[in-house]
Homo-oligomer: A and B are copies of this chain.
Amino acid sequence: MSILAAERQQQILERLGRDGRVLAAALAEVFATSEDTIRRDLRDLAGRGLCRRVYGGALPISPASRSAQIRAGEATDRKAALGQALAGLITPDSLLYMDSGSTNLAAVKAFPDDLRLTVATHDPALAAALLAKREITLWLIGGRVSRETGAAVGGRTLADVEALRPELAFLGVCALDPLEGIAAFDPDDAEIKRALLRNSGCVVAAVLNEKLETGAPFALGRAESLDCVILEADAPESVARAFAERGMNVLRAAPPEAG
């Protein structure tokens, strides 16, 4: 025997995570063993709750475990498209700050797995998602966690953020308008965003169409405080031109994957 049974089961789990499914017959060929052995492995793994046994192979346990805790909610495909564009701006081995927000959360999942850099964030859900990327060093900012934003807020958090000088920051904006500027819904959250605008080498925001040309109660600054804005593929050209005229870099995401 050239491979230990436990190793084989571990590799089956890896394939399951990578490919999203495994076939009993294919595994038998890969490991040069009988299908019976593979079936026994799959039965065993399923019994330990590590996979879901189906006719012909097995599937990940997916429904409860992953989607419950790291759920980005709506418009994930459009947010993922923005995320891909954001990832393109990243310089390897630099410090990136990721602000809270569901857009950034969905964006993380579109990051390539071998992205090599340090990321700081005060959003626990974002941190949990970033852990899935093998080459990312993660710095978590603590503090009281606000239920409104799902991220740390308050004096302690602000002070910790102020101590950072990230080369690049992905700002989560609640509202963005060429004339009205950037705005947020939560005062504590706004404080942190202001600190990021002050201290970051380059600030980028990826905004969904519905956040364009709207306002929010707490102003953060003028639109051109952002070095770069990423719009959806079908964002109105008029808005894009307005940003460009104010000296901002305007990028467009690729169209979201058609189901």
Contact = CB atoms under 8 A, between A and B. Distances in A.
A254 interface: no
B144 A138 contact: yes
A147 interface: yes
A67 B132 CA distance: 8
A132 B10 CA distance: 32
A202 interface: no
Interface stretch (A70-78, A88-96, A177-185, A245-253): A70-78
Contacts of A138: 144-145, 147
A87 interface: no
A5 interface: yes
A258 interface: no
| Copies of this subunit | 2
Contact of A59 (B7, B55, B160): B7
Contact of A143 (B65, B132, B142): B142
A152 interface: yes
Nearest to A9: B54
Pairs of residues from A and B, 6 with the lowest C-beta to C-beta distance, nearest first: A142-B142, A124-B127, A65-B73, A6-B54, A138-B145, A124-B124
Given A5-B56, A131-B150, 10 more contacts: A5-B55, A6-B59, A13-B66, A49-B75, A50-B70, A65-B76, A68-B129, A69-B129, A124-B126, A140-B143
27 contacts: A1-B56, A4-B55, A6-B54, A6-B55, A6-B59, A7-B54, A7-B59, A10-B62, A13-B70, A61-B73, A64-B73, A65-B72, A67-B132, A68-B109, A69-B105, A69-B132, A124-B131, A125-B127, A125-B128, A130-B145, A131-B145, A131-B147, A138-B144, A139-B143, A139-B144, A140-B143, A140-B145
